[in-house]
Amino acid sequence: MDFKRLKYFLTLAEELHFGRAAKRLNIVQPALSAQIRNLEEELGGLLFVRTSRQVELTSTGELCLQQVRQLFQQLTDLKEMAQASFKGELGKIRVGFSSIVAFTDFFSGHIKRFQDNYPKVEIIMHEVPPLYQIKALLAGKIDVGYASLLGLEKNPDLSARLVGVYPFVVAMRKDHPLAGRGKLAHNDLKDEKIIIYSSEDNDEFNTLTTHLMRSIEDYNVDYFDRRGSLLSMLTLVAAGQGIAIMPCPVQSIKASDVIYIPLAETEASTSFFMIRRAQEASPAVHAFWDFTGA
Amino acid sequence: MDFKRLKYFLTLAEELHFGRAAKRLNIVQPALSAQIRNLEEELGGLLFVRTSRQVELTSTGELCLQQVRQLFQQLTDLKEMAQASFKGELGKIRVGFSSIVAFTDFFSGHIKRFQDNYPKVEIIMHEVPPLYQIKALLAGKIDVGYASLLGLEKNPDLSARLVGVYPFVVAMRKDHPLAGRGKLAHNDLKDEKIIIYSSEDNDEFNTLTTHLMRSIEDYNVDYFDRRGSLLSMLTLVAAGQGIAIMPCPVQSIKASDVIYIPLAETEASTSFFMIRRAQEASPAVHAFWDFTGA
DNA sequence: GATAGAAAATAGTTTAAACCTATTGAGCGA
DNA sequence: TCGCTCAATAGGTTTAAACTATTTTCTATC
């Protein structure tokens, strides 16, 4: 059983004339006769009634015609699907993102614009803490990561691309003494209780605060060490437990009683990266990477 | 694109090893390598990642695998369908029957038993007057006819088979003078008004009554000539317009005020035939013919 | 009824591609 | 470094599909 034979069958069923059908198939009439005979032998009965004047389908032939049309449709679909898949227009991309990334403008922009241009690619989102993203990428659990991490260029198994650099803001209760200020400098934080997110699992906040701390190390800062999420930090701020230094995208989280004031006069900032495996095979992931990089 | 290639793909996708897959396919490893390469070139990308230690599917390969499995399922279905159709287990049979036939025991028996044994054959019933059945058969409007007709053996384009011979009964109002009798003879009808169905279109009643009349031609019978259906004859009988001579299956029609009395002492009878085209192509029709004849 | 024409089937030859054997090359483990 | 496994490559062989030429069958027309 062969697609070529089925194609011959289909053409003959349409033309109902061996000579014309053979011409359309760019073969010669006896070749078509032989192939149709082969097909009929394989199925165990006649598909056409041949009188010397006309050819017509048997009832079985009619049934087969419908099925064969379907079969060719499926074959066409298969080819198109494969080609779409090779072009990265089809497939799944598992995207890992850290909690802060979810509030950046580039992240939602990437996802939305890609989805608009590649509607058949399924994007599966996972919130994954930054250091875990590296493990998840190498273990094949996610295909693309979005996080603020340092030293990525040192890992030969990963490719990274800088996608955003953000200054810091200071989150505090609205009745905090500093609340009226339009902007803050290092000096202003000198005697404040600063809430820092710290966790062995999650390096992002460590990274950025360490980064920041380096720039304000001259100052004598009390800090409040605490495990928890981005939101739990804001809860602590709202509860008057201290102030928090955070990348500015966090501003879009409107917590009651909490205000954000830019931290000026420092070159400290948070850099966000896209990360993928250096040896990536999936065309969809490459399409995503190239599309968001263009 | 060829089913053989797709089969190779399927086997390799299952084995993930060129040597083993080739062995299962009863070909040699380089042949398999070449065919997989051809397939990949045709689709425009790689379906497998080959390291010298292991073979695995690409993401596109995974997608194709599902589609190809479906394709093979459909191919199997096509073959099975074709073979079922050749055996007459699949298809349509358009059955024409005259009104009286609907009340015979053989008719419902044929249909029911065949349908039980050939559940996938669609039987389409048409009530067709007897002479029309011959036209409908020759015009390809129906495939099998059931009727009482004479001279069928003279038509070389048709095959017929006798399926039932029934004596006559006399239908009359229950208050008719003859109503008390257990059976009737020709003599008894001598002075009765007999309702006869007559139509150029429909020969069945003409046939049977002519047949009957021949056997009682010695008697002086008034008859009431009237176009109409089987039921309209019974209506006339119920209205006291006369008595009617009918094949005994009509007895199963219980009309109020109408009783049936056997017409004995005559060899006159109605013969019912199955009819089909002599040159019938449809295996389902042959299956029906053979099944009901066995 | 004979004859010409049309269309599918048959016979024999040619060609193409699928397959086979033998070998090479690459990667991994001892 | 050697040896082993496994896929790729090279070159010859076989099979089957296609071609050309011819026959057969049926129909339409004279």
Kindly write down the DSSP assignment for every residue of B159-182, as one continuous string.
EEEEEEEE-EEEEEETTSTTTT-S
CA distance A69 to A85: 24
Nucleotide C24 C1' to residue B29 CA (A) = 15
Buried b vs exposed e over A124-135: b needs ≥16 C-beta within 10 Å? eeeebbbbbbbe
CA distance B241 to B171: 11
Residue type, A169: V
For B190-194, the CB contacts below 8 A with 24+ separation are B190/B219, B190/B220, B190/B221, B191/B220, B191/B222, B192/B221, B192/B222, B192/B242, B192/B243, B193/B222, B193/B223, B193/B224, B193/B241, B193/B242, B193/B243, B194/B221, B194/B222, B194/B223, B194/B224, B194/B242, B194/B243, B194/B244, B194/B245
Q: Do B81 and A64 touch (CB under 8 A)?
A: yes
Collapsing DSSP to helix, strand or coil, A209 comes out as helix
E strands, B98-157, are 121-127, 144-147
Q: Do A59 and B281 touch (CB under 8 A)?
A: yes
Alpha-carbon distance B2 to nearest alpha carbon in chain A (angstroms): 5
CB-proximal positions of chain C, under 7 Å: 6-12, 18-22, 25-28
Which structure tokens are listed for A8? 């011959």
- Per DSSP, chain A holds a count of helices (H) and strands (E) of 9, 12
Whether the pTM exceeds 0.85: the reply is no
CB-proximal positions of chain D, under 7 Å: 5-11, 17-21, 24-28
Q: What is the pLDDT of residue A258?
A: 93
A182 φψ region: left (φ > 0), alpha (ψ -120 to 50), beta (else): alpha
CA distance B108 to B116: 12
Q: Do A44 and B281 touch (CB under 8 A)?
A: no
Token match 């989102």: residue?
Answer: A125
Nucleotide C15 C1' to residue B65 CA (A) = 34
| Chain B neighbors of A43, CB-CB under 8 A | 79, 82-83, 86
Name the nearest CA neighbour of B183 among B166, B168, B164, B194: B168
Residue type, A44: G
Beta pairing, strands B222-226 & B193-197? parallel
Query: Which of A54, A60, A87 to probe by mutation at the B interface, max B CB count within 10 Å?
Result: A60
CA distance A64 to A257: 73
| Chain A neighbors of B283, CB-CB under 8 A | 45, 59-60
> Who has greater pLDDT, A95 or A271?
A95
Give the model confidence (pLDDT) of B217-274 as tens digits.
555 556 655 545 677 788 888 888 888 888 888 888 888 889 999 988 666 778 899 9
**Based on the number of CB atoms within 10 Å of its own CB, is A167 exposed (0-12), middle (13-18) or buried (19 or more)?**
middle
Alpha-carbon distance A155 to nearest alpha carbon in chain B (angstroms): 23
The answer for B 222-281 residues in CB contact with A (under 8 A) is 281
Alpha-carbon distance B79 to nearest alpha carbon in chain A (angstroms): 6
At residue A29, does pLDDT exceed 70?
yes
Q: Which residues from the 39-78 window of protein chain A have CB within 7 angstroms of nucleic acid chain D?
A: 51-53
Q: What is the pLDDT of residue A52?
A: 63
A218 to A74, A112, A192: CA distances (angstroms): 70, 43, 14
By C1' distance from the Cα of B20, the closest nucleotide is D6
CA distance A43 to A55: 19
**Start-to-end Cα distance in chain A:** 47
CB of B49 within 8 Å of any CB in chain A? yes
Confidence of residue A193 (pLDDT cuts 50, 70, 90): confident
CB of B38 within 8 Å of any CB in chain A? no
CA distance B288 to B12: 46
CA distance A275 to A136: 11
| Chain A neighbors of B90, CB-CB under 8 A | 63
Buried b vs exposed e over B176-209: b needs ≥16 C-beta within 10 Å? beeeeeeebebebbeebebbbbbbeebbbbbbbb
**Based on the number of CB atoms within 10 Å of its own CB, is A265 exposed (0-12), middle (13-18) or buried (19 or more)?**
exposed
Q: Do A82 and B74 touch (CB under 8 A)?
A: no
> Who has greater pLDDT, A210 or A20?
A20
CA distance B272 to B166: 8
CB A173 within 8 A of CB A98: no
Q: What is the pLDDT of residue B212?
A: 61
Q: What pLDDT tens digit does each residue of chain B (294 aa) get?
A: 789 999 999 999 998 989 899 999 999 999 999 999 999 989 989 999 887 678 889 989 999 999 999 999 999 999 999 999 999 999 999 999 988 899 899 999 999 999 999 999 999 999 988 888 888 998 889 999 998 887 787 788 889 999 998 888 889 998 988 888 888 887 787 777 777 665 555 455 555 565 566 555 555 556 655 545 677 788 888 888 888 888 888 888 888 889 999 988 666 778 899 999 988 888 999 999 999 998
| Chain B neighbors of A75, CB-CB under 8 A | 1, 71
CB B85 within 8 A of CB A47: no
Nucleotide C13 C1' to residue A30 CA (A) = 14
Give the model confidence (pLDDT) of A196-249 as tens digits.
665 555 455 555 565 566 555 555 555 555 545 677 788 888 888 888 888 888
Nearest CA in chain B to A70: B74
Query: Which of B86, B92, B124, B282 to probe by mutation at the A interface, max A CB count within 10 Å?
Result: B86
Nucleotide C26 C1' to residue B49 CA (A) = 15
Q: What are phi and psi of A92, to 5 degrees?
A: -125, 140
Which structure tokens are listed for A108? 């939602």
Alpha-carbon distance A44 to nearest alpha carbon in chain B (angstroms): 7
Nearest CA in chain B to A46: B86
CB of A75 within 8 Å of any CB in chain B? yes
B70 to A6, A122, A187: CA distances (angstroms): 17, 22, 70
Residue type, B68: V
Size of chain A in residues: 294
